[in-house]
Amino acid sequence: MLRLFRAELKKYLLEVKTYYPDQIVDIVTKYILFATFFYGFVHNAGNATNYSIGYMYWIIASGIISELSMSISFEKQVGTIEQLTIKPYPFWLILTVKTYVVLLVTALKSLLLLALIRVTLPVSLAFNINLVWILLVSVIGFTGIGLALSGLTMKFAKTASFESIISYGLLFFSGAIIPFDKMPVTVQRILDVIPFTAGINASQQSFNGSFHMLPVFLWLVVINLVCFMIGYWIFNAIFRNVKTNGVLNNY
Amino acid sequence: MYKVSNLKKSYGKKADLVLKDISFDINEGEILGILGVNGAGKTTLIKVLLRALEPSGGKIEFLGCDLSKIPLSTYYKDISAVLEGERNAYWYLTGFQNIQYFGRLKKLRDSEISEEADTLLKAFDLYDARDQTAGKYSRGMLQKLSIIIAMLGDPKVLFLDEPTLGLDLLTKKAVMNNLKRLAEEKKTTIVLTSHELDVIDAVTDRVLVLENGGIAYVGKTSDFKQMYSENKYKLTLRGTVAREDILSDEYALEERGAATDIILSNISNRDIDRILTHILEKDYEIISFSKDSNCLEDIMEAFIQRGSNRDA
């Protein structure tokens, strides 16, 4: 597992080095986006912490979901997908580790940018250690959703094209645009069992002081594991189907 | 190594069978060539053995175990493949970086990868280009790189789908020599498909000929050549030869300067006697008369022709 992570990390760093102009553009764009969000939008809003948490979750969740399905789409396009399916590591694990590597590098870049924003702009960024583990547990659930979508991309390559709709749909439910308590009660109850919003809620509670660690932790673990298991099952069911119908290489 | 029994494969429940109830064995350490016209089921067969495709019926045993029961993580440590029409390397990585990446995915240590990479890169004459990005490689170099990657970790079985397609003569020879060496020295079982029958002829121990999804022949390559080779002779006479003097319109006549070649294909011994007697009576001077050795290409052509006659 560690060897797989190292293999993907080294390969990704080489990719970053090769396509460094893309990275520069990404860093500059993110700086402008973060600065606009934290200084312009959040600075003038009533509850800056809640907006920031929602936005951060949205970036991570949409990053994982889009990276998983875009990876499949990319490997299909360049023609390396079948090679990856005949390796001793399970195919879903290779894709997941690829995604985590990208996420790790993106997270490091984002942390550096946030530090830069704090130095260059009059913005105060709050931090709570509970955020780290809530986020780590939430990543499990996001991976499940990403695996389900990448499974669909494996069979229907064009699924990846619709990924941005799902990503921006998530932004709507992040609480960064409309606060949760302003949403209809039924929607709020549904959102309680979705890992994405459950993580945001738990993170917001940890800042507001209304946080009971054990029940929240257990609830998060359960819904994220269930979400992961469903995504994992969907991915493998579609993988078997694709192997039966021989459409893995179709693009 | 493999025991395949009543294997069937179709792409979908209502689709026609691509592989129709086929049974055969693959022995340890042999090079098996899979032959057949386009659409005969060669690539499908390789992918089913590779477990990149699920079979629709039948049973495959690998080293005495039911293949479907072997965990993929175990199976893929023992086998490797170069698939036709696939890109088996990333273009932005150098040759060596590609080897490192795929070696790590095979759970090999970096030290093992470096050691093997050096040997294989030298054997395939790619060592000097190891630090060039794969995007700058020629088709032949890419194909050699793909085979090197597939050979990493000494797999027990190597599947190669059209490994020499589009390669120049020298590269093709290098690939063929390395495959033979691998089979001899490391006892690797190699299963390959190729439309280039000189490759099949040069490297394989046995051939399996697929025809419309069924097995038309499986056995030693030499036996196949023997069994299906035509009785073909080449008669060279001095000067120009009139067609009526060779007593048949079937045989090819080819004038080349002061001599004429006559190819007597599919001819019985009685007809040879008859034609030679007639030729001598007509005072032609015989320069040479020899049995023409059939290449595998001719044999396949004859084999396919006989197949279509059979069907008709």
Q: What is the pLDDT of residue A94?
A: 95
What ipTM was estimated for this complex?
Answer: 0.83
- Rounded to the nearest angstrom, the minimum Cα separation between A131 and chain B is 33
Spell out the long-range contacts of B20-25 with Cβ–Cβ below 8 A and sequence spacing 24 or more: B20/B212, B20/B213, B20/B214, B21/B57, B21/B58, B21/B214, B22/B58, B22/B210, B22/B213, B22/B214, B22/B215, B23/B58, B23/B215, B24/B208, B24/B215, B24/B218, B25/B1
Q: Is it the case that residue B121 has pLDDT exceeding 60?
A: yes
For the domain made up of B230-292, the CATH class stated in words is: alpha beta
DSSP state of A37: I
| B295 in reach of chain A (CB within 8 A) | no
* pLDDT, tens digit, 9 for 90 and up, residues B186-209: 889 999 998 777 888 888 999 998
Question: A243, A156 in Cβ contact below 8 A?
Answer: no
* pLDDT, tens digit, 9 for 90 and up, residues B27-49: 998 999 998 888 888 889 999 99
Tally of CA atoms within 13 A in the half-sphere of A117 that contains its CB: 23
Is the Cβ pair A4, B81 closer than 8 Å? Answer: no
| B8 in reach of chain A (CB within 8 A) | no
- What is each CA distance from B266 to B132, B245, B251, in whole angstroms? 53, 18, 9
Q: What is the pLDDT of residue A229?
A: 96
Is the Cβ pair B51, A86 closer than 8 Å? Answer: yes
From chain A, the residues in CB contact with B100 under 8 A are 7, 10
Tally of CA atoms within 13 A in the half-sphere of A154 that contains its CB: 29
Q: Is residue A79 very low, low, confident or very high in pLDDT (cuts 50, 70, 90)?
A: confident
From chain B, the residues in CB contact with A19 under 8 A are 92
Q: What is the pLDDT of residue A199?
A: 81
Q: Across residues A142-153, what is the average pLDDT?
A: 89
Q: Which of residues 78-97 of B touch A (CB under 8 A)?
A: 79-81, 83, 85-93, 97
State whether CATH 2.60.40.1180 applies to domain B2-227: no
- Rounded to the nearest angstrom, the minimum Cα separation between B27 and chain A is 22
Alpha-carbon span B45 to B51, nearest angstrom? 10
* Tokens coding A27: 């860093």
Best CA proximity match to A227, nearest among A20, A93, A61, A102: A61
Question: A137, A223 in Cβ contact below 8 A?
Answer: no
Q: Using CB atoms, which residue from B47, B89, B105 is nearest to A89?
A: B105
- Rounded to the nearest angstrom, the minimum Cα separation between B54 and chain A is 5
- Rounded to the nearest angstrom, the minimum Cα separation between A107 and chain B is 24
**Residue of chain B minimizing CA distance to A247:** B11
Number of A–B residue contacts, CB under 8 Å: 86
Is the Cβ pair A248, B52 closer than 8 Å? Answer: yes
Is the Cβ pair A87, B97 closer than 8 Å? Answer: no
Q: What is the pLDDT of residue A47?
A: 63
Q: Where are the beta strands (DSSP E) in B15-67?
A: 17-26, 31-35, 57-62, 65-66
Q: Is it the case that residue A177 has pLDDT exceeding 70?
A: no
Alpha-carbon span B164 to B188, nearest angstrom? 19
Q: Across residues B78-101, what is the average pLDDT?
A: 87
**Residue of chain B minimizing CA distance to A84:** B105
Q: Using CB atoms, which residue from B51, B54, B87 is nearest to A78?
A: B87
Is the Cβ pair A245, B12 closer than 8 Å? Answer: yes
Q: What angle do CA A152, B52, B139 make, to 5 degrees?
A: 100
Alpha-carbon span A249 to A83, nearest angstrom? 11
Alpha-carbon span B302 to A105, nearest angstrom? 61
| B164 in reach of chain A (CB within 8 A) | no
* pLDDT, tens digit, 9 for 90 and up, residues A93-113: 999 999 999 999 888 888 888
Q: Is residue B55 very low, low, confident or very high in pLDDT (cuts 50, 70, 90)?
A: very high
Order of strands, sheet of B233-238, starting from the edge strand that comes earlier in the sequence: B252-256, B259-264, B233-238, B286-291
Q: Using CB atoms, which residue from B53, B77, B93 is nearest to A88?
A: B77
- In three-state secondary structure terms, B146 is helix
Is the Cβ pair A244, B53 closer than 8 Å? Answer: yes
Q: Using CB atoms, which residue from A3, A14, A89 is nearest to B93?
A: A14
Is the Cβ pair A79, B79 closer than 8 Å? Answer: no
Fold match between domain B2-227 and domain B230-292:
no
Tally of CA atoms within 13 A in the half-sphere of B172 that contains its CB: 15
Q: Is residue A134 very low, low, confident or very high in pLDDT (cuts 50, 70, 90)?
A: confident
Q: Across residues B242-263, what is the average pLDDT?
A: 82
Task: Show me where the domains of chain B are located.
Answer: 2-227, 230-292
Q: Model pTM?
A: 0.81
- What is each CA distance from B49 to B2, B159, B210, B214, in whole angstroms? 9, 9, 15, 16
Is the Cβ pair A88, B107 closer than 8 Å? Answer: yes
Instruction: State the CB neighbour count (10 A cutoff) for residue B205.
Output: 15
- Cβ-based neighbours of B97, under 8 Å, separated by 6 or more: A11, A14
From chain B, the residues in CB contact with A248 under 8 A are 52
β-pairing verdict for B57-62 and B2-10: antiparallel
Low-confidence winner among A33-42, B53-62, B98-107, B238-247 (lowest mean pLDDT) = A33-42
- Rounded to the nearest angstrom, the minimum Cα separation between A80 and chain B is 5
Is the Cβ pair B91, A78 closer than 8 Å? Answer: yes
From chain A, the residues in CB contact with B101 under 8 A are 7, 10-11
Question: B193, B34 in Cβ contact below 8 A?
Answer: yes
